[in-house]
Amino acid sequence: MTADEPEFALDVRREGLLARSGAEPVAHDGTGRVQLSFTVEDKDAPPAQKEVRVPPGVSVFDSASWNGIAIDSTCGGHGTCHKCKVRVSPVTAVTVHDQRTFTPAELGAGWRLACLVRATRDHEVLVPPLTTRPKAATVGVGRQVILRPAVQKRYVELVEPTLEDQRPDLQRLLDAIDDLEPVPDLYALRRLPTVLRQADFKVTAVVVDEALVDVEPGDTTGLRYGIAFDLGTTTVVATLLDLATGTPMAVASMLNKQQPFGGDVISRISATMMDPEALGRLQAAAGATLATLADQVCREAGVDPHHVYEAALAGNATMTALALGIDPEPLGVAPFVQTTATPPSVPAAEIGLSLHPGARVALFPALGAYVGGDIVAGMLATGMDRDKRTRLFIDVGTNCEIVLSDGNRILSTAAPAGPAFEGGAIRCGMRAADGAIEVVKLDPEAADGSEVEIGVIGDVAPRGLCGSGLVDAVAELVKAGLLDASGRYVTDQVAKEVAPGLADRLTSIGQERVFVLHRERPDSDPAEGVVLSQRDVRELQFAKAAISTGWTLLMEELGLEHGDLQQVLLAGSFGSYLSAASAVRIGLVPKLPVLRIVPAGNVAGEGAKMALLSIRERVGAAALLEEVTYVELSDRADFNDRFVDLLAFPG
């Protein structure tokens, strides 16, 4: 290999991708969308119509797959199986593979291999009935994913060698697999001669992406699993998936073992800057967290970890760097640079996982230091890149990521919301754990002791206030007139006038005004109860102003008004639990009917599942790097003015 040659040349074995001479040139300016009108035939039902809009340059095969339209394939769009036959109009250029697959009359009629047609303009596409019905799984926010994992198994019964047939073992095996062309790992080569002979040449080849990772005795095709990890700064979630069916087998979560180094990414980055040993310890802590969860889900599902051949990991840029043992310092200081936006997949053992020896971990690409792989995974799970609607995605947290799409352009940004939502800097703040008040409802008219209704996690005595409770409490106090639009508690006199049933709960601890959310008895010392202080309200105002400044600037960039938004997705472990009405009342989200505000759940974890179940979805994640424009807020001249304007609560 010369210095000019690419370091990786795996695609040379993908004959279909190499031999695109004659394929339609992919000339396009990379903006906007093209429209594909699919007519999907079915042996047992009338044809179905589906219009999809995709970025120019995406193959017809991928466009269909991303939108839950199944086209025959056994190679997963690699151009080698010649099964993905469709008829396109207007006709496109003919590739050498089309010539091998279709008659001249069929070519003239527009029949092509869907994975080799790039959608660079609007097309009509006829999809014939499936000859083999692929299985699909619903993942993410209503996303249908056609199952085509990177992990493939093929059971073969080989003819035993003779003096007349001295083909090498590997060739004998690969000759029997007609739709995959893997390169063997050394581990698989070492096992091959013994396993073949012990199993009477009846074996299962295990292929992960481009690699033959193992040869197993007998038919093990029903045993292939993967683990999707959402590596959060606070909480880590693992889902064990049956890759043959897309079924989740077990889910487990735990606090990230990096917690002793600080609750947020900045404190963990700082730890590595102050102590040269800290990076290793943080990496080990991430690995231990992932390994604990992997053990747990395998045990729960009764799955041998050796049958887990792949994992997918979605984390923010700092979490990903720390899991890989990469110095995160450049992420924490201006100009906030990542080591790589597209981390390669890595051996699972390298990040502390004891799965199959050949297992690898696929990592999500990141848009920037503060819009990381977790958000790219979230965009995948919510279909932000393929939905025509005007949608706003907000992942609420210490670092709040915001994505806005008008159906053509997608913008993203990150807003520094601070720790208020996680209970940090809040007098009685706590995480969403047992004892946390998560729902607050005030009724100023009630005179029977029910003027304050609280919902507590775990049905135990209230110990503090978590993020959703904080937002509810402030929203309800604004509604009741006890907080004015500027976020200031009203005077006792005004409180008695506007909310007589609540007025006695508005009091002081020392010099600070507080509202008592929970007390043992009406005469209890407020300092022993759960209270919301004036400073807490200010903290929430700063957080919500940072977030609303983010989406306000993105909306201005696209020329959108609040009413233009067809859907607001609230994502993440905090955002998904927010009351939509409270979020609107305090101005955390645009003023919209609450039905348009939708909790999206753990979209990072869902995106990781999608990446495990479909290699085409991974391509979709990589394409997001090209499609999404990152808007840096910190150098915007108008940021501060907007921020100050948005501190107040909307009328």
Q: Does 87 bind ligand FES (CB under 6 A)?
A: no
Q: Which stretch binds ligand FES (CB under 6 A): 74-82, 381-389, 525-533, 558-566?
A: 74-82
Is the CB of 75 or the CB of 499 nearer to ligand FES?
75
The three-point CA angle 260-264-269 to 5° equals 80
The two tokens of residue 577 are 């639990």
Q: Does 73 bind ligand FES (CB under 6 A)?
A: yes
CB of 89 to ligand FES, least distance (A): 19
Q: Does 115 bind ligand FES (CB under 6 A)?
A: yes
Burial grade of 324 (CB within 10 A; 0-12, 13-18, 19 or more):
buried
Is the CB of 148 or the CB of 224 nearer to ligand FES?
148
Q: Which residue has tokens 């002791």?
A: 449
Residues forming a β-bridge with 508: 513
- Is 334 in contact with 287 (CB distance < 8 Å)? no
Is the CB of 33 or the CB of 83 nearer to ligand FES?
83
Residues forming a β-bridge with 310: 226, 360
The two tokens of residue 101 are 């697959």
Question: Among residues 286, 254, 255, 282, which one has the least CA distance to residue 270?
Answer: 282
Q: Does 84 bind ligand FES (CB under 6 A)?
A: yes
Is the CB of 78 or the CB of 518 nearer to ligand FES?
78
Is the CB of 19 or the CB of 249 nearer to ligand FES?
19
Sign of CA dihedral 473, 479, 481, 485: positive
Q: Which stretch binds ligand FES (CB under 6 A): 79-87, 188-196, 262-270, 315-323?
A: 79-87
CB of 170 to ligand FES, least distance (A): 24
Q: Which residue has tokens 């073949």?
A: 196
Q: What letter does residue 303 receive in the DSSP assignment?
A: -
Distance CA 198, CA 192 (A): 10
Q: What are phi and psi of 51, to 5 degrees?
A: -100, 130
Q: Does 180 bind ligand FES (CB under 6 A)?
A: no
Q: Does 587 bind ligand FES (CB under 6 A)?
A: no
Burial grade of 281 (CB within 10 A; 0-12, 13-18, 19 or more):
middle
Pick out residues in 402-441 that bind ligand FES (CB under 6 A): none
- Is 117 in contact with 92 (CB distance < 8 Å)? yes
Distance CA 519, CA 534 (A): 18
CB of 132 to ligand FES, least distance (A): 12
Q: Does 58 bind ligand FES (CB under 6 A)?
A: no
Q: Does 118 bind ligand FES (CB under 6 A)?
A: no
Of 55, 58, 70, 83, the one binding ligand FES by CB under 6 A: 83
Is the CB of 113 or the CB of 213 nearer to ligand FES?
113
The alpha carbon of 267 is separated from its chain's Cα centroid by a whole number of angstroms, namely 24
Distance CA 52, CA 197 (A): 51
Q: Does 92 bind ligand FES (CB under 6 A)?
A: no
Distance CA 479, CA 59 (A): 52
The two tokens of residue 437 are 């008040």
Is the CB of 78 or the CB of 618 nearer to ligand FES?
78
Q: How many residues bind ligand FES (CB under 6 A)?
A: 14
Of 16, 423, 469, 590, the one binding ligand FES by CB under 6 A: 16
Q: Does 79 bind ligand FES (CB under 6 A)?
A: yes
Q: Does 113 bind ligand FES (CB under 6 A)?
A: yes
Q: Which stretch binds ligand FES (CB under 6 A): 77-85, 149-157, 209-217, 381-389?
A: 77-85
Is the CB of 77 or the CB of 378 nearer to ligand FES?
77
Question: Among residues 474, 479, 650, 467, which one has the least CA distance to residue 576?
Answer: 467
Name the residues that contact ligand FES, by CB under 6 A: 16, 61, 73, 75, 77-84, 113, 115
